[in-house]
Amino acid sequence: MNAAELVRQHLIDPEICIRCNTCEETCPVHAIQHDARNYVVRFDTCENCRACIPPCPTGAIENYRRVARSNPYAIEDQFSWDELPAEAEPSPGETAELPADVVRITEIATAGQGGAALPPWSAAHPYEGLHTIARPAIATVTGNYRLTEDRASSDVHHIVLDFGRTAFPVLEGQSLGVIAPGLDAAGKAHHVRLYSIASPRNGERPGYNNLALTVKRVAADRAGRPVHGVCSNYLCDLKRGDQVKVVGPYGTSFLMPNHPGSSLMMICTGTGSAPMRAMTERRRRRAALGEGGRLMLFFGARAPAELPYFGPLMKLPKDFIDINLAFSRASDRPKRYVQDLIRDRGEDVANMLRDPESYIYVCGLKGMETGVNEAFAAVCGAHGMTWDAVLDGLKREARFHVETY
């Protein structure tokens, strides 16, 4: 075989992939598909445009193997994998280098808009993927509290994990993966489920090697049909002293700025509040050092009793954080979504959009993205701006970050 026949095949790492479907939704040529277990990439369809790279929350998407163009991994192979195959050693006479045209195409794609999403310029450097499925970190549960009131329809838990003397350094906005014990219906280990870290970088308790997760017990699917969420039920039922297998941390772009005067606009629904709690608490701990600019929060839940962290949130001083709560099913008021409140607060939202030091974070239900974008467009229209142009600028400067599932 001569070197000109070698190519880079795009593959998805089944060990890290959380099956969130963002890559399949994003791929403009439908090269990505999935079965009950794995997400795979069709070699003959993938154009290496890298549109699928930025939305992937774990980085599972960004994997390549050098293969002979005439003999790539078939999707049937990829469906059967529990882990990626090792990079093949070049055979005698074959160069390990890719041909110049393949390398050049890859470089062009990487340098373009499809490259990995960037963090704010002043974000701290994140660690990623320190613990893998083969070598997970073992954390001990030191707390498990129900956050939603007893009368609430949803059961959301605040779960504190302690890593003891194992390094698990995190930043606000990062996630980790949990491996639930046991086997799935096919007799294989459960795949990893991803949760945002709800604590600041220096610990749920400052100076401790611990962090918290915000987990909603899944008892129904999106259509309301009863299902038993494997990992959420496992986590919500944990007792103090139980041990949990954890992988990660993950996430290199949904990170907060650290420079003085930088402002945060946080827009979230339900348990999408986890990273917002981490960022808010970081700013609260650093307030005395003058690190923070303005904090503005838009938080949507069905009713006050369903809103995770409602009590502590309401105790924060008004001059520290501007809180806007949208309740969609409260018995005593009309239905409101976060996007309605963005419109209501148009003047202040417009001022933040004009402020070059403001950073925007959106986290929660996938469905909120469209509504939030429309609300920003309406606010911009009413205040002499064009949302498309504003959004372009925000993205160029890594000031707009979205994590929805």
Measured CA distances, 206 to 202, 212, 273 (Å): 5, 12, 20
Question: Amino acid identity, residue 207?
Answer: G
Q: Which residues pair with 193 in a beta bridge?
A: 178
- Residue 79 in contact with residue 40, Cβ under 8 Å? yes
Determine which residue in the list 144, 210, 269, 358 makes contact with ligand NAP, applying CB under 6 A.
Answer: 269
Determine which residue in the list 48, 58, 174, 271 makes contact with ligand NAP, applying CB under 6 A.
Answer: 271
- Residue 258 in contact with residue 282, Cβ under 8 Å? no
Determine which residue in the list 270, 293, 390, 391 makes contact with ligand NAP, applying CB under 6 A.
Answer: 270
Q: How far apart are CA 62 and CA 140, in angstroms?
A: 31
Residues 314-343 within binding reach of ligand NAP (CB under 6 A): 328-329, 337-339
255 is an interface residue for ligand NAP by CB under 6 A: no
Our CB check for ligand NAP shows the closer of 9 and 269 to be: 269
Q: Strand, coil or helix: what is 66?
A: strand
Cβ 197 to ligand NAP, closest distance in Å?
Answer: 8
Binding-site string for ligand NAP from residue 6 to residue 45, where x marks contact by CB under 6 A and - marks none: ----------------------------------------
Residues 70-109 within binding reach of ligand NAP (CB under 6 A): none
Nearest to ligand NAP by Cβ — which residue?
A: 270
Give the HSE-up count for residue 311: Cα atoms under 13 Å, Cβ half-sphere.
Answer: 4
Determine which residue in the list 212, 363, 380, 391 makes contact with ligand NAP, applying CB under 6 A.
Answer: 363
192 is an interface residue for ligand NAP by CB under 6 A: no
DSSP 125: P
Tokens of 221: 């699917």
Our CB check for ligand NAP shows the closer of 363 and 394 to be: 363
- Residue 191, class by beta-carbon neighbours within 10 Å (0-12 exposed, 13-18 middle, 19+ buried)? buried
Residues that bind ligand NAP (CB under 6 A): 154, 195-196, 214-216, 269-272, 274, 300-302, 328-329, 337-339, 363-365, 367-368, 371, 403, 405
